[in-house]
Chain A
Amino acid sequence: MNELEIQRGLRAMNAPREPAVDLWQGIAARIAAETEQATTDAAKSPSRRRWLPFALAAGTLLAATGASLLGLRIQEGTGIAQQTVPLQKFSRITPAQALDAARAPGGDPRLAGAAVVLDAANAELQQALEQQPDAVFLVSLLNRTNARRMKLEHYGARAG
Chain B
Amino acid sequence: MNACLAMPLPMTDLPRAEAVIETADTELVRRAADGDTRAFEALYRRHAARVHGAVWRLAGMNEARAQELTQEAFVRAWQKLGSFRHESAFSTWLHRLAVNVALMDLRGRDPEENADDAVLEAASDPVTPFCAGERADLEQAVAKLPPRARAVLVLHDVEGWKHEEISRELGMAVGSSKAQLHRARGLLRAMLGEAA
Contacts and interface: CB of A to CB of B under 8 A. Distances in A.
A7 B158 CA distance: 9
A134 interface: no
A130 interface: no
Interface stretch (B72-80, B102-110, B114-122): B72-80
Nearest to A17: B53
Interface in B9-39: 9, 35, 37
Contacts of B75: 27, 30-31, 34
A7 to B, nearest CB: 7
A33 to B, nearest CB: 10
B189 A16 contact: no
Interface string A13-46: 1111111110110111011101100000000000
B57 A27 contact: no
Contacts of B158: 10-11, 13-14
The DSSP consensus for interface residues of chain A is helix
Contacts of A96: none
Interface string B115-141: 000000000000001000011011100
A47 B74 CA distance: 33
A34 B40 CA distance: 15
Interface centre among A4, A5, A26, A32 (most CB of B within 10 A): A5
Contact of A27 (B49, B74, B194): B74
Given A1-B192, A3-B196, A18-B48, A24 B41 contact: yes
Contacts of A17: 49, 52-53, 56
Given A7-B157, A16-B50, A17-B52, A1 B41 contact: no
The DSSP consensus for interface residues of chain B is helix
Interface string B87-107: 000000000000000000000
A74 B78 CA distance: 59
Interface residues of B, number: 46
Contacts of B57: 13
Contacts of A19: 48-49, 52, 63, 66-67, 70
Nearest to B73: A27
Contact of A6 (B56, B66, B71, B192): B192
Contacts of B79: 34
Nearest to A33: B75
A49 interface: no
Nearest to A28: B37
A28 B49 CA distance: 17
Interface of B: 1-2, 5-6, 9, 35, 37, 40-41, 44-45, 48-50, 52-53, 56-57, 63, 66-67, 70-71, 74-75, 78-79, 129, 134-135, 137-139, 142, 153, 157-160, 185, 188-189, 192-194, 196
The 6 closest A-B pairs by CB, nearest first: A16-B49, A3-B196, A17-B53, A10-B157, A1-B192, A9-B138
Interface of A: 1-21, 23-24, 26-28, 30-32, 34-35
19 contacts: A1-B2, A1-B138, A2-B194, A2-B196, A3-B196, A5-B2, A9-B134, A11-B157, A12-B9, A13-B158, A15-B53, A17-B53, A17-B56, A19-B52, A20-B63, A21-B67, A23-B71, A27-B75, A31-B78
